[in-house]
A and B are shown apart, each in its own frame.
Chain A
């Protein structure tokens, strides 16, 4: 007991000392965010230049960690939530409205959410190697009817956000026929991996001809590697929309700083860092300001998306269609 009081006292003392110097904004972010090629370092430098504060990232688990910490969380802001967890996050009551005008958003879907603010987006897509797939499928139907020797890797919808987006995508395109669609796709699926990284590693290793990834993936190869052999197959049935979000914690002890950060997310300074560090599309930047390699990417005409309530209602059914068709 004495030890606990002492420790608490010391932590409090340290916190006071730090506060007396520069205010600290604690941002929880996904693990990739902070690495030297991720968007984290640029955003940190950009924000610190305007706020006179110290931005500190804590990377790792996002929502599970905040839910476990509950009101005790140190986070002022969290960045990198995905649309599949917003419902749970909203229901926790731990997040506060951002109070920003979202009319500047340049998303392909209407977005009116007073709490979760998009900072980048993309679409699911099958990325292929042009040298191996001479005639890529021109539509989702084409893909289902492609010869079975087309080697495809996808991600598990139960452990990966892109995998979940895929089953919702199939549901959006095929509805009640989703299970039949999966049955047609099944022979082409070489394997299902836990996360995106494993799948993409198999694809670049030549283990698969096509991989479930994003419409923006080819931009990395074109810009960073000057390799234009990778392309995303664009389907007229539409592509599923994926978005990453930032939100302010209701328990923050730095509400002004947190608000300032949320506003920073929508600035051109922040937005223009997204394409070549997050390899996705900025959420509030007109297309003419995108880097050349991104402007040239083929983009889907039609974008499919279920809002959080629809997705929550459909999720189990969509995963079960996948599971039962692939378990046969």
Chain B
């Protein structure tokens, strides 16, 4: 009997601890290298504590709002069927994968001084709204992260076995209390944790929409310490504070989320009797309409602004686009290889280090480690792939883990009885059940890698610019029209990659 229990818990997770240590080392190693080079830690001033306080509360509010708004939107999407639903779900994911500068321009076209909203309020004789300030930062963070929260929670809804809804309907039992709330208690804290950590390290958004120095984040203080003062000790200290905050909050939230208790289903298509009443349909339509309007209008503005610029894009930009796509594909493969054995609680914590760490400090540390071994420019490609994979890992793990845990709980015993272990366990039992989350995770990684910028600035030799870098070069050369064209190209390619992978995984959703 003891022998039967053993493979169950250990085999699918074998080596997870080792992998987790490896990934944690990839983050902690470079940070240590920076501290070592700096010869110790630095002191923080009052301005740094102001930045810390702002960073914390804006991250908490942004993550809270994103998750709270995502719940009704995800419920509406999970229980209503309408033409174009699949396309809408894919498109709603777009803001999360946009490069920050592109998204900010899109948001400003809607909420800015001359934006659509102010044109409307002006025409109606209402007072102007001003996007700049704390609320601007939070609006932008919700814009970025509502899609991620929606998808994570939607996945939770879709993972409730169809038989449970059928049973609830036949007993006329309350779906909300029996099925939805337990699911949310399991999924929502993790979604909040991931978004909270993303907002902790946010930088460019807070600066552009924050309206001034009140909205200063820790990441800006790190940038200043590194670039202006070359004060590595202070940069490393701030990065450590940021890491500690991210890890502490993530740990608390992940420990809070209870395990899945729905049991296995037969993978029938869900039928949702609870969504058929008139008020339910009306409410759901309103929520879907709200999300679509809020998330898609800025995208439409980016498309409109970018079309003329597409015609004047220089050849360099197309080459950069090709390079970005190949980097994105490479990073996707690497991320999935790293992610599958890491989809445990320890692994997820280790993975979260990747977003909780300051990109600038990570890049500097890797540079310090690589430099004695080889010319940094030769390491540019592997380092880019690695950094992109580290950045995407937390999202991928958050997507995969609940479903992998459920698959293990539901089919692990059966597999063990049949003696299916090791690679065969992945191939026959686990991977087929992960098809949907794997497609979503791969799409997200590819798209995130398209938009990556900055971490490897020290390694770049200028020969191999990626598309986001090219976009900045166009802006720096006053070519604003071409830059908007490049932004549209970036949006199209990111979304295209996301859609391809996601579609592959969502064949039956």
Q: What is A's interface to B at a CB cutoff of 8 Å?
A: 4, 7, 11, 29, 31-32, 34-38, 57-61, 63-65, 67-69, 72, 74, 84, 88, 151, 156, 158-159, 164, 186, 189-194, 196-198, 200-202, 204-208, 217, 220-221, 224, 279, 322-323, 326-327
B479 near A37 with CB under 8 A, answer yes
Distance, CA A196 to CA B108, complexed state (A) = 17
C-alpha gap A197/B314 in the complex (Å): 19
Find out whether the CB atom of B224 lies under 8 angstroms from the CB atom of A194.
no
Contact across chains for B462 and A34 when beta carbons are under 8 A apart: yes
Residues of A within 8 A of B364 (CB): 64, 68
Taking a contact as CB atoms under 8 Å apart, the answer to whether B462 and A197 are in contact is no
B461 touches A159 (CB 8 A): no
The CA-CA distance from A208 to B483 in the complex, in Å, is 18
* A37–B313 CA distance with the chains assembled, in angstroms: 12
Contacts of B476 in A (CB 8 A): 31-32, 35, 196-197
Is B213 touching A327 in the complex (CB atoms < 8 A)?
Answer: yes
Given contacts A57-B462, A58-B377, A68-B367, contact A327 B230 (CB under 8 A): no
> Judging by beta carbons under 8 Å apart, are B212 and A192 in contact?
yes
Report the minimum CB–CB distance from A135 to chain B (whole Å).
20
Check A61 against B113 for contact (C-beta < 8 Å). Answer: no
Asked if B211 contacts A192 (CB within 8 A), the reply is yes
B residues neighboring A (CB under 8 Å): 37, 47, 50, 101, 104-105, 108-109, 112-114, 132, 203-204, 207-214, 216, 220-221, 223-224, 226-228, 230, 314, 316, 364, 367-368, 371, 373-375, 377, 457-462, 469, 472-480, 483
Q: Is the beta-carbon distance between A194 and B204 smaller than 8 angstroms?
A: yes
Q: List 11 A-B contacts (CB under 8 A).
A: A7-B374, A35-B474, A37-B477, A58-B462, A60-B462, A64-B458, A68-B37, A88-B230, A201-B483, A205-B108, A207-B113
The 10 closest A-B pairs by CB, nearest first: A59-B462, A197-B475, A32-B476, A158-B224, A326-B212, A60-B460, A37-B477, A35-B473, A323-B213, A194-B207
Shortest C-beta distance, A79 to chain B (Å), equals 13
Q: Is the CB of B214 within 8 A of A327?
A: yes
Is the pair A156, B132 in contact by a Cβ cutoff of 8 Å? no
Enumerate chain A residues within 8 angstroms of B108, measured Cβ to Cβ. Answer: 202, 205, 207
- Considering only CB atoms, which chain A residue lies closest to B482 in the complex? A37
Tell me the interface secondary structure of chain B in the complex: helix
For the complex, what is the distance from the CA of A68 to the CA of B368, rounded to whole Å? 7
Question: What's the Cα separation between A326 and B132 when bound, in Å?
Answer: 13
Q: How far is the CA of A313 from the CA of B243 in the complex (A)?
A: 33
Q: Judging by beta carbons under 8 Å apart, are A64 and B230 in contact? A: yes
Among residues of B, the one whose C-beta sits closest to the C-beta of A189 is B212
Interface contact B211-A31, CB-CB below 8 Å:
no
- A280→B47 CA distance, assembly (Å): 35
CA of A159 to CA of B223, assembled, Å:
7
Cβ contacts under 8 Å, A189 to chain B: 211-212
- Are B113 and A198 neighbours in the complex by a CB distance under 8 Å? no
Residue of A nearest to B470 (CB): A35
Contact of A322 among B203, B213, B373 (CB under 8 A): B213
Give the one of A36, A201, A326, A327 with max B CB within 10 A.
Answer: A201
B227 in contact with A64 (CB, 8 Å): yes
Q: Which residues of the partner chain A approach B204 to less than 8 Å between Cβ atoms?
A: 194, 198
B227 touches A159 (CB 8 A): yes
Q: What is the distance, in angstroms, from A230's C-beta to the closest C-beta of chain B?
A: 10
Chain A nearest CB from B29 CB (Å) reads 16
Nearest Cβ in chain B — how far from A280, in angstroms? 12
In the assembled complex, which residues on chain B have CB atoms less than 8 Å from the CB atom of A34?
A: 462
For B209, give its contact among A37, A191, A204, A220 (CB under 8 Å). Answer: A191
- Kindly name the residue among B228, B460, B480 whose own CB sees the greatest number of chain A CB atoms within 10 A: B228
In the docked arrangement, what's the CA distance between A200 and B484, Å? 13
Specify which chain A residues have a CB less than 8 angstroms from the CB of B479 in the assembled complex.
Answer: 37
- In the complex with contacts A88-B230, A326-B212, A279-B478 CB distance below 8 A: yes
Per the bound structure, the CA–CA distance linking A57 and B132 in Å amounts to 39
Task: Report the minimum CB–CB distance from B137 to chain A (whole Å).
Answer: 11
B227 surroundings in chain A (CB, below 8 A): 61, 64, 159
CB-based nearest B residue for A225:
B478
Alpha-carbon gap, A38 to B475, bound state (A):
12
Asked if A323 and B113 sit within 8 Å, CB to CB, the answer is no
Q: Chain A residues with Cβ under 8 A from B132's Cβ?
A: 190-191
Q: How far is the CA of A122 from the CA of B367 in the complex (A)?
A: 34
Name the distance in Å between B218's Cβ and chain A's nearest Cβ. 13
CA distance A204 to B305 in the complex (A): 12
Q: How far is the CB of A76 from chain B (nearest CB, A)?
A: 15
- With contacts A192-B207, A207-B108 taken as known, whether A67 is within 8 angstroms of B212 at the C-beta atoms is no
Q: Please name all residues of chain B whose beta carbon is closer than 8 Å to the beta carbon of A63 when the two chains form the complex.
A: 230
> Quick check: A204 and B480 within 8 Å, CB to CB?
yes
Whether the pair A60, B457 counts as a contact (CB closer than 8 A) is yes
